[in-house]
């Protein structure tokens, strides 16, 4: 099954800039059976944990997190760039290779004690997800795991996420 899912992910050289090989998941998303298999495999790892919220990072994280939340019987919490959410937010700023970026979540998105799964399409350097972990902690959610469709092992993103249950379907 994993081989069939992996073959639906194509490499796009030099995107978004020279030297990067972008992992394009759109062929997998277009394949109903393959996408369902991927989501089901990710959900199985966290089944039975009583997850109440799946926190998803814009934009491809929404695509992975929404069906995962539905499969787990949980609500979905969007994490977005500043100014994109309509209600009061909390923020977390994090370091990029050159500069910083900021993510936001609604102040009431997670209640203390909510059992949280953080989902995204890709784990690369880990900076974005580490910022999301901090947002969830600010709202006193209990993080039960991190779910990724793809992980770029050579970037060692796990090193920024010590102590977390990390499940990745496909490794490169």
Sequence-distant (6+) residues with CB within 8 A of 41 are: 1, 2, 5, 169
Catalytic residue (choose from 10, 33, 60, 142) = 60
Residue 97 among the catalytic residues = yes
Catalytic residue (choose from 7, 80, 97, 158) = 97
User: Which amino acids are annotated catalytic?
Assistant: 60, 97
């Amino acid at each position: 099954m994993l081989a069939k899912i992996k073959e639906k992910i194509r490499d796009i050289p030099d995107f978004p800039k020279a030297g990067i090989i972008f992992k394009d998941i759109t062929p997998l998303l277009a394949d109903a059976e393959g996408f369902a298999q991927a989501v089901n495999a990710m959900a199985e790892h966290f089944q039975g944990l009583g997850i109440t919220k799946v926190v998803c990072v814009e934009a491809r994280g929404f695509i992975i997190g929404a069906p995962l939340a539905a499969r787990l019987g949980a609500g979905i919490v969007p994490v977005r760039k500043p100014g994109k959410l309509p209600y009061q937010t909390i923020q977390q700023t994090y370091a990029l290779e050159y500069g910083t970026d900021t993510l936001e979540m609604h102040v009431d998105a997670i209640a203390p004690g909510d059992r949280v799964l953080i989902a995204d399409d890709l784990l690369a350097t880990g900076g974005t997800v580490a910022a999301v972990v901090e947002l969830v902690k600010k709202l006193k959610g209990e993080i039960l795991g991190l779910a990724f469709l793809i992980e770029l092992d050579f970037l060692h993103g796990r090193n920024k996420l010590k102590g977390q249950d990390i499940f990745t379907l496909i490794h490169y």
